[in-house]
Amino acid sequence: MFERRLKVVLTIPILGGLILIARLYRLQIVDGAQYEKRAEQSLIAPKRFLPPLRGSVLDRHGKVLVSDEPTFDLSAHYGALSEDENFLRDYAREIRRQSRHYQRMSRSDAEGEALRRVQTLYDRLAELTEASADEYFARRDSIVESVEFLRDYIWQARGGEGIEQRKEDMRLREEDRFHTLIRDLDRTFQSRIEIELGDLSFFRIMPAVRRVWQTEDRSLAHLLGRIGQVSKKRLEEDPRKTDWLARYRAGDLVGVSGVEYLAEDVLRGTRGYEEKNLDGDVIESVASIDGAPVRLTIDSELQQRVAEILKAAISVELGRTGGSCVILDVSTREVLAMVSVPGFDQDTFRKHYDQLRDEARTRPLLFRAIAEEYQPGSIVKPVALLAGLKHGVVTANTTYDCDGSYIDHSKHWHCWTHWKHLPGHGAMAATGAIQHSCNLYFYDLGKHVNARRLSAFYDDFIRGPGHDTSTVVRSTGLLEERDGIIPTFEWIEKYRDRAYTWADGCNYAIGQGEMQITPLQAANMYATLANGFYRDPTIVMGDQRERRPKPIAGISPAQWQLARRGLYLCVNEPGGTAYEKATLDNLVICGKTGSAQCVARPVKTKYVFNVEQEVSDESALASDLKRTETVRLETVAPTLERARELLDLPHDAKPDEWRVVERWPPVPEKRTTPLPHAWFAGYAPYKKPRVAVALIIEHGGSGGQVAAPVGRQVFSAIMESAHDYLGLGSRSQQVAKGNDAADD
Ligand SMILES: [Zn+2]
């Protein structure tokens, strides 16, 4: 059967391959390296692909952040990777032919030798490159899996069972090609491999390109994202699947996260090819088409400056686990900075991956700006006020007399002053309630607006009025982006299995309860407060998506002005929670502080797995009698992945029990929970808002004491930028505070 298959189906490609391998082998043995180049050019793989350069990623001012550069890859023949029996037989024949002990080497010895050389390749490479052989085995498996997928796809496309050829007999071009096993080979390793393994004809070192990070700013790591080997799913879903040159091929690198993923269609190019005759003359060629560059809306200098500010703020206390800051252009909603700290070094990401993943205290891999949801706390109060005004629950002059606490439905409600042993706020009206962040005013407002109307209104600010719930692409479109939690009536029913209560309204009005938003959503909420329009933010210059500004309905200009006046007073008048903390002499900032309740996160967990294992039954007479038995395996680890590794369990093993043994950060004395996250959100300048900012310091404590001063530093950094984001004109013409602050 095998012989017939060889003759009938594989004659041409295999014979071709055989001759080529034979020639190359002889050339290498006889004349060494000087023939290598010529052999490569004229004999192997007549059609040779020309890789395109992947597009660069630039910041808004054209600074290159990531680009492709030439390098070398190590590739192996598919027959060797798949240990294909035809390939091994041909290779064995060559070994016999070239062996000095040809006369004495039997066919079966040669076949054994061929298999040994192919199978030991990974360990030998691992040794020479100081890497783990497992990595190379995983890469081999992934290539073989991709090619098998392709075989399946083509076979199905040709009519599946309807065609006469068996699927296993179908020969693919991929099977006669070299596939990349090691990318971007280090120069030292390259020469070592050439010396040690140069006599193996089934792999080659080939020119290639590599992705190079042109920025050392770790805070950009999450945003720019990474490239990785194309998955089976991506091959399947490739929109250019029918174009043989443009489509993904097994082993291709594609964007897997951040901008690299988001802009994949722009960044990826189209490969070309070249065919040469035996003399090395090009007889046919198609040039590759490089991918196009992508320009981000990010100002990388500003981003780096803000990252430094945040890092400094976080390093003050050990319990501060991380932070994030997002800066938006109010009108265009272009993201000027999107900082998430801690970050990580892209260049050593792979090497340090386990360590980064298991760093459970600070979670450096987490893209906090868009992928972490926090309770908004008091920064949501201006939006709650607008809901109260819209629904006629309060007017500008409606007052609430805050005496620090009250009892409603036998529940105790406290203003924040109560916990600081201060007297209540007294008579509070709309703007004063924002300025002083009076909880009791907002409890009362929330109760009367009610949870349903409040959530619906918040949704307009967080996801946009009349947003299509079926649309997946909202906001920036980044893969990592989370949608926040707005506890709508349906959400509460679905996830809490209950109906709204009157208390939900009170809690939602001060940003507590189930509601959670990302720092990006917080910044966008403040941009909407600044100009009255919701708009999807973007990180790409010239974003072609439909994202026109949508007005927030039902709010009069006078009502908008009340919320904005409250935010002005909060930063610029005595008694404001950000007064003197976020105040600048030469820029009028409007903003609000907030503290988000939170719990300590598990950083060490005890995992228990009950695993079926085969054991020899020593009591039985027959020594080969085996039986299975449930074995209890347990370990303490920072992550489930780590626990599986420690116990040598498969990557999908599920623990039967787990118990948190350590949390972080520690709970301070006289508290039952760790310090809350500290928020500051705002915009500037007051009269003509141009820039909105939201920032959070995890477990920072008081928004006023901790986040507001960081907010001031961030606005200073924006002012100091060479670019006039605040519309202040040149330095000498900067609007004096007095002019801008003049009351309406
Ligand atoms: Zn109060």
- What CA–CA distance (Å, rounded) separates 21 from 3? 20
| Whole-number Å distance between alpha carbons of 502 and 500 | 7
Q: How far apart are CA 362 and CA 317, in angstroms?
A: 13
- Most confident by average pLDDT, 48-52, 160-164, 532-536, 623-627: 532-536
Q: What is the mean predicted confidence (pLDDT) over 52-79?
A: 93
Q: What local confidence, expressed as pLDDT, does residue 15 receive? A: 33
Enumerate the CATH 3.40.710.10 domain ranges in the chain, comma separated: 328-595+673-741
Q: What is the mean pLDDT of the segment spanning 591-610?
A: 95
- What is the distance in A from the centroid of ligand 1 to the CA of 400? 9
The Å distance, Cα 43 to ligand 1 centre, comes to 83
Q: Which residue has the higher pLDDT, 729 or 714?
A: 714
Q: What's the 416 CA to ligand 1 centre distance in angstroms?
A: 7
Cα–ligand 1 centroid distance for 678 (angstroms): 19
Whole-number Å distance, alpha carbon 418 to ligand 1 midpoint, is: 9
Separation of 444 CA from ligand 1 center, angstroms?
11
**Mean model confidence pLDDT for the chain:** 87
Q: What is the mean pLDDT of residues 530-545?
A: 94
Q: Are residues 294 and 540 in contact, defined by beta-carbon separation less than 8 angstroms?
A: yes
Which CATH number is 328-595+673-741 given? 3.40.710.10
Question: Distance from the CA of 442 to the center of ligand 1, in angstroms?
Answer: 9
pLDDT in tens, 358-401: 999 999 999 999 999 999 999 999 999 999 999 999 999 999 99
**What's the 446 CA to ligand 1 centre distance in angstroms?**
14
Q: Provide φ and ψ at 48, rounded to 5°.
A: -115, 130
> What is the whole-number distance in angstroms between the Cα of residue 417 and the centre of ligand 1?
7
What's the CATH number for 2-295? 3.90.1310.10
Distance CA 380, CA 378 (A): 5
Backbone angles phi, psi at 606, to 5 degrees: -90, 120
User: In one letter, which amino acid is 513?
Assistant: G
Q: What is the mean pLDDT of residues 91-115?
A: 82
The answer to which of 152-166, 522-536, 650-664 has the lowest mean pLDDT is: 152-166
User: In the structure, what pLDDT confidence band is assigned to residue 116 with cuts at 50, 70 and 90?
Assistant: very high
Using the mean position of ligand 1's atoms as its centre, give its distance from the Cα of residue 29 in Å: 88
Distance 595 CA to ligand 1 centre (A): 15
The C-alpha atoms of residue 283 and residue 273 are separated, in whole angstroms, by 11
Backbone angles phi, psi at 116, to 5 degrees: -60, -45
Q: Is the separation of the CB atoms in 692 and 327 below 8 Å? A: yes
Better-predicted residue by pLDDT, 131 or 610: 610
Q: Where are the alpha helices (DSSP H) in 177-287?
A: 187-197, 221-224, 232-237, 258-262, 264-267
Prior bond of 423 cis (ω within 30°): no
* 401 CA to centre of ligand 1 in angstroms: 8
**Which residue in this structure is represented by tokens 């695993």?**
611
Distance 405 CA to ligand 1 centre (A): 8
- Tell me the per-residue pLDDT of 638-649, one tens digit each, with 9 for 90 and over: 999 999 999 999
The residue to which tokens 């505070």 are assigned = 737
* CA 381 to centroid of ligand 1, rounded, Å: 13
Q: How far is the CA of 436 from the centre of ligand 1 (A)?
A: 7
Decide if pLDDT at 742 tops 50: no
What's the CA-to-centroid distance between 576 and ligand 1, angstroms? Answer: 12
Q: What is the pLDDT of residue 14?
A: 34
Distance 708 CA to ligand 1 centre (A): 20
Q: How far is the CA of 426 from the centre of ligand 1 (A)?
A: 7
- Residue 506 tokens, joined: 């009170």
Which is nearest to 259 in space by CA: 230, 290, 220?
220
30 has a pLDDT exceeding 60: no
pTM: 0.81
pLDDT of residue 469: 60
Q: What is the pLDDT of residue 197?
A: 84
Residue 276, SS3? strand
Confidence of residue 478 (pLDDT cuts 50, 70, 90): very high
Q: What is the mean pLDDT of residues 397-416?
A: 90
d(CA 246, CA 199): 34
Mean pLDDT of 599-610: 95
Residues of the chain with CATH 3.90.1310.10: 2-295
Q: Report CA(445)–ligand 1 centroid distance (Å).
A: 13
3-state secondary structure of 306: helix
The pLDDT > 70 percentage for the chain reads 88
Q: What does the pLDDT read at residue 625?
A: 63
Residue 72's beta-bridge partner residues?
A: 207
Q: Check residue 435 and give its pLDDT.
A: 97
**Pairwise pLDDT comparison (196 vs 595), residue with the higher score:** 595
Separation of CA 501 and ligand 1 centre (Å): 23
Write the DSSP assignment of 37-77 as a string of letters. Answer: HHHHHHTS-SEEEEPPPPPPEE-TT--EEEEEEEEEEEEEE
When comparing pLDDT for 285 and 15, which is higher? 285
| pLDDT value, residue 279 | 72
Per-residue pLDDT at 362 = 96
How many angstroms is it from 507 CA to the middle of ligand 1?
14
Ligand 1 centroid from CA 550, angstroms? 34
Cα(711) to centroid(ligand 1), Å: 24
Distance CA 514, CA 374 (A): 10
* Strands (DSSP E) found in 415-470: 426-428
Predicted confidence at residue 375, as pLDDT, reads 97
